[in-house]
Amino acid sequence: MVSGSQSSFYGTVQIKGSFATRNADKGRRVYGERLVKTDDFEYRLWDPHRSKLCGAMKKGLKTFPFKYGSKILYLGASTGTTISHLSDIIGDEGELYAVEIAPQCMKSLISLSERRNNIIPIHADARHPEEYVDVGKVEIIYMDVAQPDQDEILIKNAKEFLQKDGIAFFCVKSQSIDVTKEPQVVFDQVIKKLEPHFEVLEKIKLEPFDKDHLFLALRFLA
């Protein structure tokens, strides 16, 4: 039996140098992660090579608004790797709207949502927020769609759903935007486009976990 120590990130502990969340679906793994039992609970180790949010935490992220009961819109849910840890953190009172365009990812996401009540899967293109207006206002948007127009997608969704002073996390993949330009040039262009709408709180390069990725924490100015 091991013991976890406190972490500065709400709803997480540190176990042998890894972040971990308390497993809301005891005995089950989501993406092959390690399960660790402590005296009282079971934890899932959070892999920074598989989740950019965890990579950013490892690289010193300070902005962490996730808490019990948070309402989150997540764009680019994939099969639910990062989502599963957020689901552990926000608990039964939380709501995690998970937008994904790829039908094969949706299958995994739907089966995940059947075991975790706070995940609401939405099969849609994040370019068309009008298709999921029922989501209503959220406190946090997490965006990881790896598309050339990802900055415009974020702005559109923030205008529709994000409350004033709400927080957006944005994973910028320079290769998806322009392979011919240096990553820093691409990052600077993206930030310039975001600045009329957001205050940039943090910029974190995700190496060594993800190459040519910038993780942004933003406050919505509305």
Ligand X SMILES: C[S@@+](CC[C@H](N)C(=O)[O-])C[C@H]1O[C@@H](n2cnc3c(N)ncnc32)[C@H](O)[C@@H]1O
Q: Which of 101, 110, 120, 201 binds ligand X (CB under 6 A)?
A: 101
Torsion of CA 160, 99, 86, 52, to 10 degrees: -100
What is the Cα–Cα distance from 103 to 170, expressed in whole angstroms? 23
Q: Which residue is nearest to ligand X (CB)?
A: 76
Segment near ligand X (CB under 6 A), from 4-12, 75-83, 112-120, 198-206?
A: 75-83
Q: Which of 34, 59, 67, 127 binds ligand X (CB under 6 A)?
A: 127
Neighbours of 79 (CB within 10 A): 18
Measure CA 67 to chain center: 13
Q: Residue 199 gets which letter from DSSP?
A: E
What is the Cα–Cα distance from 69 to 78, expressed in whole angstroms? 22
Hey, what are 36's tokens? 């660790």
- Asked whether position 174 contacts ligand X by CB under 6 A, the answer is no
Segment near ligand X (CB under 6 A), from 9-17, 87-95, 101-109, 162-170?
A: 101-109
Q: Which of 138, 141, 145, 191 binds ligand X (CB under 6 A)?
A: 145
DSSP one-letter string for 43-80: EEE--TTT-HHHHHHHTT-------TT-EEEEE--TTS
Segment near ligand X (CB under 6 A), from 59-67, 141-149, 185-193, 209-217?
A: 141-149
Quick one: 196 exposed, middle or buried, by C-beta within 10 A (0-12, 13-18, 19+)?
Answer: exposed
Segment near ligand X (CB under 6 A), from 7-15, 73-81, 87-95, 155-163?
A: 73-81
Q: Which of 12, 23, 81, 87 binds ligand X (CB under 6 A)?
A: 81
- Asked whether position 55 contacts ligand X by CB under 6 A, the answer is no
Q: Which of 18, 21, 23, 51 binds ligand X (CB under 6 A)?
A: 51
Residues lying near ligand X in the complex (CB under 6 A) are found at 51-52, 75-76, 78, 81-82, 99-102, 105, 125-127, 144-147
